[in-house]
Amino acid sequence: MKFNETTIRILVRKNYGECFDFYTEKIGLTTVWGDRNGPYTSFAIDDKSNPCFAIFSAEAMSMFKGYEQPNFSTQPDTITAVIPTLDLDSDYLRMKEAGVAFLGEPQYIEEWGMRCTYFRDPEGNLFELNDASGV
């Protein structure tokens, strides 16, 4: 198992194009493969890096025999994708100016020993942006 090479993949159930725009225009990821039309796009942090993130149309999951899409209208928070940053304040401001709606400003949580903030993508998936600078 190569867990250290894990890629986060979001299953898009609502609007693929909106998610594509969010990750490219607001988060600033670079498209490695695929496009705004789907059903699959992989992203990297820049054009010199390997893919680290992907979106996949949930409708295409039916290609895997045995998969059944869950029947619910709201998504519970069962997973958080963590994005470490060396400059939390700068990345927070850049993303906020690009239109990312954060759940709150970056804050230090003493019990966790770190600063972080949270946001959701257009699908409602929860992301943590945290300070990995060690300062």
Domain boundaries, the chain: 3-62, 80-131
What are the residues whose beta carbons fall under 8 Å from the beta carbon of 85, sequence distance 6 or more? 91, 129, 130, 131, 132, 133
pLDDT surpassing 90 at residue 44:
yes
How many helices and strands (H and E) does the chain possess? Answer: 2, 8
CATH 3.30.720.110 applies to domain 80-131: yes
* Contact (Cβ atoms closer than 8 angstroms) between residue 46 and residue 66: no
pTM across the whole model: 0.84
What is the band of 7 on the pLDDT scale with cuts at 50, 70, 90?
confident
- Contact (CB, 8 A) for 100 and 119: yes
Looking at the predicted structure, is the pLDDT value of residue 124 above 90?
Answer: no
| CATH for the stretch 3-62 | 3.10.180.10
pLDDT, residue 1, reads 64
Q: pLDDT at residue 106 above 70?
A: yes
